Amino acid sequence: MAAAFVDKARIAVKAGKGGNGAVAFHREKYIAAGGPDGGDGGRGGDVIVQADEHMSTLMDFRYKRKYVASDGGDGQGARRSGKDGQSLTIRVPKGTLLRDAETNEIIHDMSDAEPFVLCRGGRGGWGNCHFATPTRQAPRFAKAGMPGEEHDVVLELKLLADVGLVGFPNVGKSTLLSVVSKAHPKIANYHFTTLFPNLGVVFVEGGESFVMADIPGIIEGASEGAGLGHDFLRHVDRCRLLVHVVDVSGSEGRDPATDFDAINEELRQYSPDLAQRPQIVVANKSDIMADEELLERLRKRAEEEGYPLFVISAAAHQGTRELVQTIAARLRSLPPVQTYEAEYVKPAPVIDTPVLPDIRVEDGVWIVEGPWLERLIANVNFSDYESRMFFDKQLRESGLFQRMEEMGVQDGDLVRMYNLEFEYQR
C-alpha cells in the first residue's frame, strides 16, 4: 500500500532553557567565605529548521508533534561555565511554509537552503561571582537560566515547481509527466489515479531544465473543498506557468471546452492571482479523437482567452517534444518561483527589568504574580540573610510595595508570592 501524502502538519517546538548560575566559593586568605567563584549557566539549544531536497512530504510530522532542544548546563565552581545545550534541527521539504498556529501568519518560507532559527535558547544565568560588591563580598545567590522560546507552528508544503499540470482527473497529466521527465507516477485508466502531487525534472536541449508538477485532478467545487480541494490546489500557488491538459478524445462523453472553462473557474475561485498566471492549453489524446469538432471548440475558447494551444498525444509521444521546447522558451521570460514574505512579528524578548506584577486580593490574602517576580524568586536563596535583603531591595526598587500600599495593604496582612508567604511589614 502506498504511503499517504501529507502536506500540512501542526507541531509544538521549544528551545532549551538556559542553565542556572552557580553559588560557589574558593578558599583564599583574607577574603570572606573564600571569595565567590560560581560560574555562569550555559545557553539553551536553539530549534533550527532546515530545508531538505530529499524530503517530499510532511509524513514525519504525522506521529511526532513535539520537538524540544536541550537545556544548557548549570555553572560550576572555579568560575566554570555550564555547557551550552545542543541545538535541534528539524528537516522539512523544500517549499514548506512555517505559519503561526494561532494567527496563520507566515513566519518563514523554507524555499532555499539557508537554515532558519525558529526558537532561540534561553540565556544562561549568572554565577554568584557577578554579584560581589564592596559591601556584599560573599553573595549566596545566583541567577536562574532564562526559559527558551516556544511556539506552536503549522507546516504547510507548497511545491517548488516551475510548471503545474492542471485539469480534470484522467486527462493524461501523469502520462505526460512520465513521457517528458524521469518521473514514474502511477498511471491507470480510472479517476483520481493521482492522489498526491508528483514532481519531475524536464531536461531540454542545450542544458536547460525545469521542474514540472503533476497536480491531482481538479473537479468542480474544488475551490470550496470538494474532492481533493484546497489540499492540492495550494501546490499550484508557486508555479510560474500552468499547463492546462484537456481530453479531446470524447471517450467519456465530455465537452473539452466546458471542461476548460470549469477548471479555470475553480482556479479563479481559489485565487484570482492564480487565474492570471500564464497558461498553455494542451489538447491531449488526439490520436483517439472521435470528433474533430470537439478540438475546434476548445481551440476557439483558448484563443478567446489568449492562450496558445498544443495538440498532442502523450501516450503516443506525439507533439511532446515541441511542447517541452515551448514551455522552456516561455519560462525564460517569466519571473522566478514565488517566495512568500514573512508576516509574523515576533513578540519583544523578555528582559530582566522590573515589571510590576499582577496584584489581587482573595479571601484577605494579597496574591502577587508575574514573570519578572517568578524569575526573581528563582534566583534567591531564602535561607541566606544577604539574599533575603537583596530580594527585599529588588521589590522596593521596582515600586511593588508602594503600589500595594496605594491599594490598601496593612501591616500584618498575609502576602503570597507563588510558594512564598509572609506577613507584610512597612
Could you give the dihedral angle defined by the CA atoms of residues 79, 80, 81 and 83, in that order, rounded to the nearest 10 degrees?
Answer: -170
Question: What is residue 221's predicted lDDT score, i.e. its pLDDT?
Answer: 53
Q: What is the mean pLDDT of residues 98-114?
A: 93
3-state secondary structure at position 258: helix
The band of 191, judged by pLDDT with boundaries at 50, 70 and 90, is: very low
CB atoms within 10 A of CB 303: 12
In single-letter form, the type of residue at position 261 comes to D
Reported as a pLDDT band with limits 50, 70 and 90, residue 348 is low
Structure-block grid coordinates of residue 46:
536553539
What gap in Å lies between CA 205 and CA 31, rounded to an integer?
Answer: 81
Q: Read off the C-alpha cell for 188.
A: 491507470
Taking the model in full, what pTM does it have? 0.71
> Which residue has better confidence, 139 or 162?
162
414-417 and 47-52 beta bridge pairing: unpaired
Cell of 177: 509527466
pLDDT range class, residue 57, cuts 50, 70, 90:
confident
| pLDDT confidence bin for 229, thresholds 50/70/90 | very low
Residue 343's CB: how many other CB atoms inside 10 A? 12
- Give the strands of the sheet with 150-157, arranged side by side: 66-68, 8-14, 150-157, 96-100, 106-110
Q: Which residue has the higher pLDDT, 129 or 135?
A: 129
- Look at residue 144 and tell me whether its pLDDT is greater than 50: yes
- pLDDT band, very low/low/confident/very high, at 343 (cuts 50, 70, 90): confident
Residue 305 identity = E
- Sheet of strand 88-93: strand arrangement: 88-93, 47-52, 116-119
Query: Given this model, what pLDDT does residue 251 score?
Result: 78
**Interval 273-285: pLDDT, tens:** 888 899 999 999 9
pLDDT in tens, 31-45: 655 678 889 999 999
**How far apart (Å, rounded) are the C-alpha atoms in residues 263 and 184?**
25
DSSP string, 152-203: EEEEEE----SEEEE-STTSSHHHHHHHHSS------SSTT---S-EEEEEE
User: Could you report the per-residue pLDDT of 293-312, keeping only the tens digit for each?
Assistant: 999 999 999 999 999 999 99
